[in-house]
Chains A and B, each alone.
Chain A
Amino acid sequence: MNSNRRVNAVATVVLLLSMAGGIVALNAVDHIRRGAVAQQALYFRSSRVLRRLSLGYTGLLADIYWTRAVQYFGEQHHSGSGDFRLLAPLLEVTTELDPKLLPAYQFGANFLAPKPPNGAGLPGAALSLTKYGIEHNPDQWRLYYNLGFLYYTEFKDYPRAADAFARGSKLPVTNAYMPILAARMAQHAGEFDTARMLWFTTYQGTKEPRIRQNAVEHLRAVQVDEDITRLEQVIAKYRAQFGRTPTGMDDLERAGFIHGTPADPNGEAYELKPGGRIEVQHPQKLFFITKGLPPGVEPPQPPRIPEQPSK
């Protein structure tokens, strides 16, 4: 091997080893500095300072902050720490840099409002974010929908929810369900139908697969809760008529209260337990249900989303 070849070979080996070593070292550094990226992202909390530093390229900076907010949420959600302290400031800076960045309001409120581990458990911050969004984008029906949704699901404030849906329904471009939702909120009637309509509108209003999947899971949960509520009413009627609790679904069918064996959205039959309690067979397959759970079992939550959400 001549000297040139030797030098080339050594240089190649050193290059590859250094590259591999660099990757290992960087991973080790990342491990001990977990969360540092988001912390750095908030080194400047003032959007005014950031505006000046961006030399006017605020749109790009807002996109970067939004991406950081998504990554931060994904990371905290994945780790299950339940610590979302930086989420609200990240979203605040994002929307102040670009007040027209609609995904930051729509998904940001979804990240902020639900209780941990599914969200930050900050419905107040979600409300402020959505109101700020409406202030700067008064022609976007989705933001009024989000506001009504928050008032309904997080605060059970029906008059305010009705007002938000009604305001959104009067916009030139709106959704057909908005006036119906406003009316339902005003009447405070038909809880299951209202919930179904809300989640269906959420499903329709986005192309984001994870948000759609979340809406589908909620729609399935609403179906289970409604089925079990009806079955409980049927059992109460049976008790009133026969003076005893039915021992199985057969009793209800023989008495003509039901036709066939009722089943959950997975096609698995509901079980009638001693004492007249209705349970689903596999609660771990039905996220967000509030009824039909065996005693002592917590409402199941969907699997944690990946660390870095991808489309």
Chain B
Amino acid sequence: MNSRIRSIAFNTFREAVRDRVLYNLIAFALLISAAAILVGEISIDIEHLVVVNLGLTAVSLFGVVIAIFIGIGLVSKEIDKKTLYTVLSRPVRRWEFVVGKFFGLTGTLVVNTFFMALGVFLALLYVAHKFEKADAWVLAALYFIVLQFLIVCALSLFFSSFSTPLMSAVFTFALFIIGSLSEDLRGFARMTPGLAGWIATGLGYIVPNFSAFNVINQVAHGDAVPGRLILLNTAYAVLYSAMAVSGAVLIFQRRNLK
């Protein structure tokens, strides 16, 4: 990573962590992890399961919301405040600006996830009084959640490179929902003959496959996550993000900023 990208990424991170909304969302996610303890109390024999399921779901969903709401403003805010012109008047290329923003946002989300995950582990310790060996798989689920954020960040950046913040949020959130159901979409494509089948197959591969990143219930039961899945999910997330960021770069390169 060159120094210009690093500077943009660092500044993006610094700007994001100054946002009060971010802290509110993290606080809310931590509150939900704490609430999981109470939910476990009013049920029977599922304290551990509820803490993992509710805690990780909160980390995942709040992270997606943070990724979308910060990601959509990355480019438009710079244009509105006219700071983009100051940046681009220096020896910074447009692609470096986009890539730097991407890394800055993902860095913010990794740090957020760390704090939210800390809340989940503290809640786990509270209900079980000790960590089991199988709890280590919670880290694998958290890693997959971070990979999911990587894609959401790339998508929000992609949409914000040519659209308004509101529309970018709508597009990214819609893709998150469709991506969570993408296995169904590919299943539907397999059953559909002809042109509709081809279109559904194409869509099935274009939309991100978020369902493969969701192993929350699996790790809640203490089941192992196969190493091959970790490897392939990593490759998929990196490739998909690279694709979306490249798309953002291509659009931003051609965008008339006057």
Contact = CB atoms under 8 A, between A and B. Distances in A.
A101 B41 contact: no
B181 A52 contact: yes
Contacts of A56: 180, 210-211, 214
Given A56-B210, A60-B54, A63-B54, A100 B221 contact: yes
Nearest to A51: B184
Given A63-B49, A67-B46, A100-B221, 15 more contacts: A55-B177, A59-B57, A59-B216, A60-B54, A63-B53, A66-B43, A67-B39, A67-B42, A101-B46, A101-B49, A103-B44, A106-B45, A308-B42, A309-B42, A310-B42
Contacts of B214: 56-57
Contacts, number: 72
B217 interface: yes
Given A55-B180, A57-B216, A63 B43 contact: yes
Which 5 pairs across A and B sit closest by C-beta, in order of nearness? A59-B217, A103-B45, A55-B180, A67-B43, A56-B214
Interface residues of B, number: 27
A107 interface: yes
A217 interface: no
A208 interface: yes
Contacts of A63: 39, 43, 46, 49-50, 53-54
Interface in B206-243: 210-211, 214, 216-217, 220-221
Grouping DSSP codes into helix (H, G, I), strand (E, B) and loop, the B interface class, with mixed when no group exceeds half, is helix
A223 interface: no
A70 interface: yes
Contacts of A98: 217
Contacts of A207: 45
Contact of A66 (B46, B180, B181, B221): B46
Contacts of B220: 59
Interface centre among B42, B177, B180 (most CB of A within 10 A): B42
Interface of B: 39, 41-47, 49-50, 52-54, 57, 60-61, 177, 180-181, 184, 210-211, 214, 216-217, 220-221
A60 B57 contact: yes
Contacts of B57: 57, 59-60
Nearest to A61: B53
A163 B217 CA distance: 32
A67 B44 CA distance: 7
Interface in A200-221: 206-208
B195 to A, nearest CB: 25
A15 B32 CA distance: 26
A206 B44 CA distance: 11
